[in-house]
Structure 1
Amino acid sequence: MTSDDLACVPEVEIDPDGTFKYVLIKVSTKKPAGGSSNEKIVVRGFRWGAYHADIFEDTEEKVRKMGLTAKCLGGGRIHHNAAAKQLNVYGYSQGFGKADHEQTVQLLKTSYPDYEITWSNSGY
């Protein structure tokens, strides 16, 4: 697969409102013999995910069908208040550990440039 395939993977996919679990995922092209892989970090967060693993497994299946690989870098929660244009990133995943919330916020800013986006290490 090529970096063009990687470009087809959106950096951010989260629910439009509410509080939900999220995961930070590294998506990569498969490393060719003697070559190097390309990669990008993506955020996925949905209310339907009872567990962080549910969200990761859904994303992993989708990128695998594209010939890409996925590795979960950690998780947490996002509170999305669309009416107030606010996102708050916090908490951790019991299964994957805490995601790098600063990195998550930087990715969210690309998709939500007119939002107030905050983060903290407190809460579950």
Structure 2
Amino acid sequence: MSALEAVSEVTIDSDGVFKYILVRVSVRGSEQCRDIVRGTKCAEFHNHIFEKINPELEAAGFECSVLGGGKLEHNSNDKKIRVFGESTVYGKADHSITAEKLKKAFSDYVVIWTDDKK
């Protein structure tokens, strides 16, 4: 497994409505890249998520750029995740890409996305 493959595609909190970002992680000096989803209730703003993950990924030899953001509504009891909204800092992520990554990570869930802001 390469170092890039070792970077988890999806890391989100277990329940609630919270902000997320879609990030492109690239191997420095290479064309290899992978898009990852990060979301947490701890972030008041989308850039707080990036400020937390970027230093550790850069220290591992990666370059990161935010492709956009939005919100996730995660209900682990009902096994549902809804992707919606946008980031005022980074703009709207491509929710269809985020949803596909979530479907892979949570294969027994219903994952839906919408361009609605709420």
With normalisation by structure 1, the TM-score equals: 0.92
> How far, CA to CA, are the matches of 1:80 and 1:54 in structure 2?
19
1:55 aligns with 2:49: yes
> How far, CA to CA, are the matches of 2:60 and 2:47 in structure 1?
20
- The equivalent residue for 1:25 is 23
Q: Report the secondary structure of 2:14's partner residue.
A: coil
Deviations 1:64-86 (A, max 9, x none): 11011100000000000000000
> How far, CA to CA, are the matches of 1:75 and 1:59 in structure 2?
14
- The equivalent residue for 2:115 is 121
RMSD of aligned residue pairs (Cα, Å): 1.1
- The equivalent residue for 1:80 is 74
Runs of 4+, deviation exceeding 6 Å: none
Q: Structure 1: where are the runs of 5+ without partners?
A: none
In the TM superposition, residue 47 of structure 1 has moved relative to its aligned partner by: 0.2
> How far, CA to CA, are the matches of 1:121 and 1:47 in structure 2?
21
In the TM superposition, residue 57 of structure 1 has moved relative to its aligned partner by: 1.5
Q: Structure 2: where are the runs of 5+ without partners?
A: none
With normalisation by structure 2, the TM-score equals: 0.96
In the TM superposition, residue 37 of structure 1 has moved relative to its aligned partner by: 2.2
- The equivalent residue for 1:89 is 83
In the TM superposition, residue 44 of structure 1 has moved relative to its aligned partner by: 0.1
